[in-house]
Amino acid sequence: MLKLMLLLYALVLAQAGAHLHRVPIYRQKNFVKTQDNIRAEVAFVRAKYGAVSAISTAAANSTTNTTNLPKEQLVNDVNMEYYGIITIGTPPQTFNVLFDTGSSNLWVPSIQCASPSCQDHMSFNPTLSTTYRYTNEMITLEYGSGGMSGFLGIDVINVSGLVVANQTFGLATTELNNTFVRDGFDGILGMGYASLAVDNVVPPFYNMLAQGLIANPVFSFYLARNGTSQQGGELIFGGSDPSLYKGSMTYADITQQNYWQFNMDSATLNGQVLCTNCAAIADTGTSLLVAPTDIYNKIKVVLGVNTDDTIDCSNTSNMPTFLFTIGGKVFGVPNSAYIISTDTGCILGVSGMESQFWILGDVFLGQYYSEFDLGKNRIGFASVSGMNYTTGGGASNRKQLRLLEFAALLAVFWKVLDYIN
Ligand SMILES: *[C@@H]1O[C@H](CO)[C@@H](O)[C@H](O)[C@H]1NC(C)=O
Ligand SMILES: *[C@@H]1O[C@H](CO)[C@@H](O)[C@H](O)[C@H]1NC(C)=O
Ligand SMILES: *[C@@H]1O[C@H](CO)[C@@H](O)[C@H](O)[C@H]1NC(C)=O
Ligand SMILES: *[C@@H]1O[C@H](CO)[C@@H](O)[C@H](O)[C@H]1NC(C)=O
Ligand SMILES: *[C@@H]1O[C@H](CO)[C@@H](O)[C@H](O)[C@H]1NC(C)=O
Ligand SMILES: *[C@@H]1O[C@H](CO)[C@@H](O)[C@H](O)[C@H]1NC(C)=O
Ligand SMILES: *[C@@H]1O[C@H](CO)[C@@H](O)[C@H](O)[C@H]1NC(C)=O
Ligand SMILES: *[C@@H]1O[C@H](CO)[C@@H](O)[C@H](O)[C@H]1NC(C)=O
């Protein structure tokens, strides 16, 4: 009897896991945060979202020496801390890519690219791939005063065992103004809606669905902000893993299908309501939390931030938690998540932009498990097991995680028993 139960149990487990495809997410090695590269990221994010002036108002009014800004602003090594591995072509050529929910194109450097940022990254050689197909189409992805331009090619890509045939992707022949120098990734794999894709290229996730590689049109992210191992989390295709989060997902409907845009019920800080029914997008390709400019100005007053966005490090422990209410649930972002301590002091991981929406980057997403549901056009968030209002993945959290896993196993056992009876 016990044997039968164990067998059934194993079958149930295998079934449950079968539709989830796991992709390890890595963190950039030797990752150093400096005030300059936080500012550089602010500029990059603004450029990404088409905000007109590339240099932040804070930087323009800054008392610090901004001589280096135009050069620094696009050296974007703060932005993309997390990346994963894919291969392109036959035999496979390997690339680190940023899985970016804030854009919708896949691109990597081409072997023909002589730009400095191509030189220190992996590049794709079409002549070495037997499955590669040429196109006549060009592509340009602009990020303010930088970005990439090149041509489109078609080949097979392999994302941790999900083998996508006929994927059209960009091959950069120029990466302008050192946009991607020093980045931990070679290229970007966009995971936004297809409507956002430049040149109407079908994004990889849509091809995975069309080719029947994943059963459910859902992917989910867990981005660890803390931990000693280089693995910084997991991207799961085909659903989410309840053993990685606490309780149930809280969902919000997508209000505009290009970015993953939705409405938050409210955002408050230190008892002050910053906005109600606030538009927001979830962007894994941004480390910052970005607020519309008028709201950002309120935030600066509440937190007592210096004009150049720096904060006195000695006065950060009392700073209030951002409370975002989404789908009726409160999601907190504590000071440990939004204050970034750098080599030269503390700086806010929150910025302002002339946009109509908030951008929830890794400062927020690193605190929660997030689920992107293309089938139901909704986004879900849940507390990471053992984490609510806290960062950290310490021993006690891991213990808690084990307990939860154990509880989940027990639940499966009961289900099997029910089934037998
Ligand atoms: C710089 O600060 C001044 C005075 O505080 C303000 O009037 C001006 O609008 C600021 N400029 C920018 C670009 O933010
Ligand atoms: C700012 O920095 C640049 C180069 O780092 C230097 O040449 C310039 O003298 C500095 N300007 C001021 C006002 O300190
Ligand atoms: C590169 O940056 C420089 C200075 O910031 C700017 O003048 C130039 O237009 C940029 N190049 C491109 C192609 O955007
Ligand atoms: C795809 O990549 C996985 C490793 O991530 C590998 O095990 C598998 O053999 C690859 N499949 C093909 C068809 O290349
Ligand atoms: C890929 O394209 C080739 C050539 O057009 C076609 O024969 C093949 O069926 C396509 N494969 C998939 C999975 O779409
Ligand atoms: C310390 O932080 C509190 C709360 O954010 C703020 O009101 C106060 O002005 C700060 N004090 C200094 C000296 O920065
Ligand atoms: C976190 O805990 C607070 C207080 O217990 C609760 O109000 C909030 O809903 C929790 N958030 C999540 C996402 O579980
Ligand atoms: C992780 O977070 C805890 C507190 O939340 C901190 O004590 C520890 O130093 C952090 N570890 C790393 C590697 O950042």
The whole-number pLDDT of residue 192 equals 95
**pLDDT over 60 (residue 74):** no
Measured in Å, residue 392 CA sits from the centre of ligand 8 at 6
DSSP letters of 55-80?
S-HHHHT-SS--TTHHHHTT--TTT-
Query: What is the share, in percent, of the chain residues with pLDDT greater than 70?
Result: 69
Q: Report, as residue numbers or ranges, the catalytic residues.
A: 100, 283
Pocket flag, ligand 8, residue 334 (CB < 6 Å): no
Homologous superfamily (CATH) for 20-223: Acid Proteases (2.40.70.10)
What is the DSSP-derived secondary structure letter of residue 239?
A: S
The whole-number pLDDT of residue 23 equals 87
- Which ligand 4 atom is nearest residue 162's CA? 1
Average pLDDT over every residue of 244-263: 94
Measured in Å, residue 320 CA sits from the centre of ligand 7 at 15
Ligand nearest to the CA of 335: 6
Q: Whose CA is nearest to atom 10 of ligand 3?
A: 145
- Find out whether 118 and 149 touch, Cβ atoms under 8 Å: no
The answer to whether the 20-223 and 245-420 domains have the same CATH topology is yes
The token duo for 81 is 């801390």
Average pLDDT over every residue of 38-50: 68
How far apart (Å, rounded) are the C-alpha atoms in residues 78 and 33? 6
The whole-number pLDDT of residue 185 equals 81
Pocket flag, ligand 5, residue 154 (CB < 6 Å): no
Look up the pTM and report it.
0.76
The whole-number pLDDT of residue 59 equals 36
Residue 191, H or E segment: none
For the stretch 166-201, pLDDT in tens is 999 999 998 876 666 666 788 999 999 999 999 999
Least confident of 262-276, 365-379, 406-420: 406-420
- Which ligand 7 atom is nearest residue 382's CA? 13
The whole-number pLDDT of residue 343 equals 73
CATH assignment, 245-420:
2.40.70.10
The token duo for 116 is 């400095």
Least confident of 116-130, 174-188, 214-228, 264-278: 174-188
For the stretch 130-165, pLDDT in tens is 999 999 999 988 765 567 899 999 999 999 999 999
Average pLDDT over every residue of 400-417: 48
The whole-number pLDDT of residue 73 equals 27
Pocket flag, ligand 4, residue 85 (CB < 6 Å): no
Measured in Å, residue 122 CA sits from the centre of ligand 2 at 35
Q: Whose CA is nearest to atom 12 of ligand 5?
A: 165
Ligand nearest to the CA of 155: 5
The whole-number pLDDT of residue 8 equals 54
Count of other CB atoms within 10 angstroms of residue 232: 23
Domain ranges of the chain: 20-223, 245-420
Sequence-distant (6+) residues with CB within 8 A of 28 are 77, 80, 81, 82, 83, 183, 184
Question: Pocket residues for ligand 2 (CB within 6 Å)?
Answer: 65, 67-68
- Which ligand 3 atom is nearest residue 70's CA? 5
Q: In the structure, what pLDDT confidence band is assigned to residue 415 with cuts at 50, 70 and 90?
A: low
Q: In the structure, what pLDDT confidence band is assigned to residue 58 with cuts at 50, 70 and 90?
A: very low
- In angstroms, the first-to-last Cα distance of the chain is 12
The whole-number pLDDT of residue 416 equals 53
- Find out whether 327 and 250 touch, Cβ atoms under 8 Å: yes
What is the DSSP-derived secondary structure letter of residue 24?
A: E
Q: Whose CA is nearest to atom 8 of ligand 4?
A: 161
- Which ligand 6 atom is nearest residue 319's CA? 5
**Cα dihedral value 300, 100, 93, 209, nearest 10:** 170
Measured in Å, residue 296 CA sits from the centre of ligand 3 at 28
Measured in Å, residue 93 CA sits from the centre of ligand 4 at 12
Q: Which residue has the higher pLDDT, 183 or 337?
A: 337
Measured in Å, residue 303 CA sits from the centre of ligand 1 at 19
Least confident of 80-84, 122-126, 305-309, 402-406: 402-406
Task: Give residue for tokens 């060009």.
Answer: 138
- Which ligand 7 atom is nearest residue 247's CA? 14
Pocket flag, ligand 4, residue 161 (CB < 6 Å): yes
